[in-house]
Amino acid sequence: MLLVLILAAGIWGLGLLLKIPSRQRVVMVGMLFLGVLIAQLVLPDGHPLRVATGGSPALWFMVLGFAAVALVYGQGVAWLKRRVATPPEEPKSAGTFSEAELDRYARHIVLRELGGPGQKRLKQASVLVIGAGGLGAPALQYLAAAGVGTIGVIDGDVVENANLQRQVIHADAAIGTPKVFSAQAAMMAQNPFVTVRPYHRRLTGDVAQALFADYDIVLDGTDNFDTRYLANRTAVALGKPLVSGALSQWEGQLSVFDPAEGAPCYACIFPQAPAPGLAPSCAEAGVLGPLPGVVGAMMAVETVKLITGAGAPLRGSMLIYDALWGETRQIRLGRNPDCQVCGHRHV
């Protein structure tokens, strides 16, 4: 038996000198012991080789048993060390979903036109909403609920009591709070899996281009023409789709202005602002409370379609909804080749 142990030590030492991996050295020594055990079992009693290697297989069974226990123990310790040394998991990428998210978006995922790939696009998308008022309120709520990954909202106003008849994202307790922060709180309470970026300021020419560049799609829910024309010019310059809505008393309208895809821009249809008094604001003319919810929700629908590629967005079309008479009509819109913003002579 001493001879076998000397041979095993020699094999191990030679392996160290030759820098043979430890796993291979263990195999070589194991083959030596296995060969000895076979010799003990096969050769007759009194055979010189059997006598030289211990004379009894029982002894070698004991040796191999102890070796197996030691090997298993060593492997277990090494596995535990690897577990301890393993770095923490990286944060989930923008395209992966937790179990809670999969359950939350299940009704989207089973839709043939959306499915898992569509929901992944929503999570990876970024949308900027101009205005957290009548149109912005429902659009923001539904974009957050739908799982749009990053939502920006820019508005310089604070919540007023007169807003609450239609701007349902804000609560009575939020009166006096900047609208963007009130909207952010409501969106995060509804869906903590999205990122909301509030910008408490008015949209002006000095920030518009840099701001729009951070987003895939822009929604215009404002009620003044200066901002609408600025948003249109900036979106055209950057090739961003502009989802635009407007309200007046009982009527709302909606379109997707996207010259980069062959559709007209806002200035193609409305080259200049109407004369004062011809298009009074909601404060002057009034507006039905639920009407912004209808049109704002449709703006969110168009945005989801643009992101996911589902259906046919309202590019080159305007949808007009008359709430008083329950009528909806759609008109075709064409590009103006001489448009001062997107016409061939001006791009």
Q: What structural domains and CATH numbers belong to the chain?
A: 2-85 (no CATH), 125-332 (3.40.50.720)
Distance between terminal CA atoms of the chain? 93
Instruction: Return the amino acid letter for 166.
Output: R
Sheet architecture: strand order including 327-332: 195-199, 150-154, 126-130, 217-220, 242-248, 251-257, 317-322, 327-332
Q: Look at residues 115, 122, 114 and name the one whose alpha carbon lies nearest to residue 95.
A: 122
31-45, 84-98, 250-264, 332-346: segment of lowest average pLDDT: 84-98
**pLDDT of 179-219, one tens digit each?**
999 999 999 999 999 999 999 999 999 999 999 999 999 99
**pLDDT of 25-59, one tens digit each?**
666 766 766 676 676 666 676 666 666 666 666 66
CB 43 within 8 A of CB 50: yes
Confidence of residue 343 (pLDDT cuts 50, 70, 90): confident
